[in-house]
Structure 1
Amino acid sequence: MRIDAHHHLWQPLRGDHDWMPDGDPILDRQYAPADLAPILRRHGIDRTVLVQAAATTDETEYMLGLADATEWIAGVVGWVDFEDPSQRRTLERLSRHPKFLGVRPMIQDIPDDHWMLRDDVAWGYSAVTELDLTFDALGFPRHLENFHRLLTRHPDMRVVIDHCMKPDIAGGGFETWAPGIARLARDTSACIKLSGLVTEAAEGWTLDDLRPYAAHVLDVFGPDRVMWGSDWPVCRLRAEYDAWLGAAEAITADRPEEHRAAIFGGTAARFYRIAA
């Protein structure tokens, strides 16, 4: 299988995408399964993972409805309020849905960089682990140290790091990012998504801009812990789906075939337990 391990679908008129710039010509519009389907067919993508983009359980329910109606959506990564321990019951209910995979707190948007380490949200990590769900880690390089603390505290939690932890490619931030990524690879069992790199690059990016970051991730995590994701439609801020997929394929072209099979499908299938 070829799997897109990270994309979004949304309807801004639902009113819960607080981060979205009003009137943005790329983001502030509906993206539905019918918009993505022909792109997937063009590139032979068999299954996808639909990921939350709003800090509401209402959006999670909306995405599960899309997944129920769309065969190629293999599963949904949703959201629950980690600041409300009573949401354990919501998480238990969602976990019974056959296409509910796990959760993603929107940590990158939380002003307190130490939020993830607070005692009052720790129940969430325990619940994710006990229910055998997944945890998508969304943050910036400034969060690397705290994610290292979090993941080593919860070694049994199934974790994937989103968007390579968003290195500042446009600003040349390799040196401030690379050591923290290597520590996470060395000291935890987390996987990582080869996604989001074009969005962190400058306008007019080239393969040479992306290559050192992708190579570092592949070298320290290994192909069996790396999964490709489009981050569509957010990627459209810098590149269309075709261009980003083509860039990722070009960057990995010198890797053995079995490594590329893992990156573009096998790792995601194993981590998210996506059946053929």
Structure 2
Amino acid sequence: GTALIDRHLETRFIIDHLAIMQPRTPPAPPKPWADLPKVLELAKRPNAVIKVSGACTLSKEPYPFPDIWAPLARVFDAWGFERCLWGTDWTRAFAVVNYEQAVEPFRLTERLSESERAMLMGGACAKVYGWSPTKS
């Protein structure tokens, strides 16, 4: 919980799956974003980052899951794109979405600028894990 994160300020915590219980099979839960206030509260911890994975499994609408964007905008505002690590969660959620359905909403949405998309879909991950491209 937050007490652990607060006690170990020198440790980076990586929060999985938006810190929200996500279904492995359809349908989405009745109130899929009910824990969003807790997720936003977690963002106050500078030593935590969050994986934006499995978001499409929380949709109550079919592909391309347009109802995920309002709650995700709140996540992005609270955490900042530099602390949001995108992921499909495809292998765990294959009964809900296939790989393409998990990727394309993020690749094609007009809700993200190109720089936000680049940070979300790889840039933040590279920074958090200290990865950088190498020339061969």
Verify same fold: TM over 0.5. yes
- Counterpart of 1:232 (choices 80, 84, 90) is 90
Per the alignment, residue 130 of structure 2 pairs with 273
TM-score (norm. length: structure 1) = 0.42
TM-score (norm. length: structure 2) = 0.80
- Larger helix share, 1 or 2: 1
What is the identity, as a one-letter code, of the residue corresponding to 1:180? K
Per the alignment, residue 171 of structure 1 pairs with 30
Q: Deviation of residue 167 (structure 1)? A: 4.9
Q: Deviation of residue 159 (structure 1)? A: 1.4
Q: Deviation of residue 242 (structure 1)? A: 0.8
Q: 1:179-221, CA deviations, whole angstroms, 9 ceiling, x for partnerless residues?
A: 2111110233311111112334458465233222322211111
Instruction: Give the alignment of 1:45-124 within 5 angstroms.
Output: none
**Change in 2 beyond 3 A, CA 1:249/1:167:** farther
Q: C-alpha separation between the residues in 2 aligned to 1:230 and 1:239?
A: 9
SS in 1 for 2:93: helix
**Change in 2 beyond 3 A, CA 1:188/1:149:** farther
Greater relative contact order (Cα 8 A, min sep 6): structure 1 or 2?
Answer: 2
Q: Deviation of residue 238 (structure 1)? A: 0.9
1:162 aligns with 2:19: no
Q: C-alpha separation between the residues in 2 aligned to 1:203 and 1:229?
A: 20
Percent identical residues? 27
What is the identity, as a one-letter code, of the residue corresponding to 1:269? A
Show structure 1 runs of 5+ residues with no match: 1-146
Please say which structure displays the higher CA radius of gyration.
Answer: 1
Q: How many residues are aligned here?
A: 128
Q: C-alpha separation between the residues in 2 aligned to 1:163 and 1:213?
A: 14
Instruction: Give the alignment of 1:251-266 within 5 angstroms.
Output: 251=109, 253-266=110-123
Q: 1:29-78, CA deviations, whole angstroms, 9 ceiling, x for partnerless residues?
A: xxxxxxxxxxxxxxxxxxxxxxxxxxxxxxxxxxxxxxxxxxxxxxxxxx
Q: C-alpha separation between the residues in 2 aligned to 1:237 and 1:214?
A: 22
Instruction: Give the alignment of 1:29-40 within 5 angstroms.
Output: none
Show structure 2 runs of 5+ residues with no match: 23-27
